[in-house]
């Protein structure tokens, strides 16, 4: 597993940007606190990225959103809040204990009717869902990234927005042997994003989660 290194100044800048620009609400803070108190790994997106997801939902006018990887529901809250009246988010989580905490956090945010947490391996859940989704956010087991991208195409339509988190992984995509469990799958998924199915880019980020990035794409 790769070590994520967060430089102190990256963290300070992220905190300043979060307080000055992003301005998370008590429901976002609560989701983070609950996750910490219940001993969940601190692997949710940064608040700056949560806000970006929320803006992408609004900018794209998405009404149906699919998330793969729920954890405590932090990113689900950001996206769920951005949905228009009648919109819906389906989010997939493998671990029942994570799903239970996410449901609590989503209910505290008033989103229990707008977000459905599906428990089980995402590949099983995805096979039960019906598209088209307008936006797909992928943030789960990296080994299945390419399968999730193929599902995004299957459950999407031309123009569906796809966001794939952890696309830079401390630069390990240039040296996948640094993290044999994850990096080769990340590279494979980026190659898929660079192929004919998608129109894509990758934005590098530096912050509390270290040096990373996200891929942003639309289905062709």
Ligand X SMILES: C[S@@+](CC[C@H](N)C(=O)[O-])C[C@H]1O[C@@H](n2cnc3c(N)ncnc32)[C@H](O)[C@@H]1O
Residue numbers of the site for ligand X (CB under 6 A)? 43-45, 69-71, 74-75, 92-95, 98, 121-122, 139-141, 144
CB 162 within 8 A of CB 190: no
Closest distance to ligand X from the beta carbon of 94 (Å): 3
Q: Which residue has the tokens 């599902």?
A: 151
| Tokens standing for residue 113 | 């009717």
Cβ closer to ligand X: 140 or 149? 140
For the record, the structure tokens of 84 come out as 């228009």
φ, ψ of residue 123 to 5 degrees: the values are: -65, -35
Do you know the residue count of the chain?
220
Query: What gap in Å lies between CA 156 and CA 163, rounded to an integer?
Result: 13
CB-count burial class (<10 Å; 0-12, 13-18, 19+) for 123: middle
- For ligand X, give the closer residue by CB, 79 or 199: 79
Minimum gap (Å) between residue 165 Cβ and ligand X: 7
CB-wise, 70 or 205, nearer to ligand X? 70
User: In the complex with ligand X, which residue's Cβ is closer, 81 or 144?
Assistant: 144
Least Å distance, CB 101 to ligand X, is 10
Which of 14/44 has CB closer to ligand X?
Answer: 44
CB of 196 to ligand X, least distance (A): 26
**Least separation, in Å, of the C-beta of 50 and ligand X?**
7
Quick one: tokens of 20? 């000055």
Paired residues of 115 in beta bridges: 89
């Amino acid at each position: 597993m790769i070590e994520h290194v967060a430089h102190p100044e990256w963290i300070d800048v992220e905190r300043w940007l979060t307080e000055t620009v992003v301005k998370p609400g008590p429901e976002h803070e609560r989701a983070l606190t609950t996750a910490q108190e219940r001993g969940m790994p601190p692997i949710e997106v940064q608040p700056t990225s949560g806000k970006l997801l929320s803006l992408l939902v609004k900018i794209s006018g998405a009404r149906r959103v699919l998330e793969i990887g729920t954890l405590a529901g932090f990113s689900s809250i950001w996206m769920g809040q951005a949905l228009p009246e009648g919109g819906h988010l389906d989010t997939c989580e493998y671990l029942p204990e994570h799903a239970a905490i996410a449901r609590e956090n989503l209910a505290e945010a008033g989103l229990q009717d707008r977000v459905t947490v599906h428990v089980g391996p995402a590949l099983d859940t995805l096979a039960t869902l019906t598209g088209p989704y307008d936006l797909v956010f992928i943030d789960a087991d990296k080994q299945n990234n390419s399968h999730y991208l193929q599902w995004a195409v299957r459950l999407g339509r031309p123009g569906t927005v796809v966001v794939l988190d952890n696309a830079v992984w401390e630069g390990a995509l240039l040296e996948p042997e640094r993290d044999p469990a994850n990096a080769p799958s990340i590279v494979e998924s980026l190659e898929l994003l660079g192929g004919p199915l998608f129109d894509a880019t990758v934005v590098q980020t530096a912050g509390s989660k270290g040096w990373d990035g996200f891929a942003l794409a639309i289905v062709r």
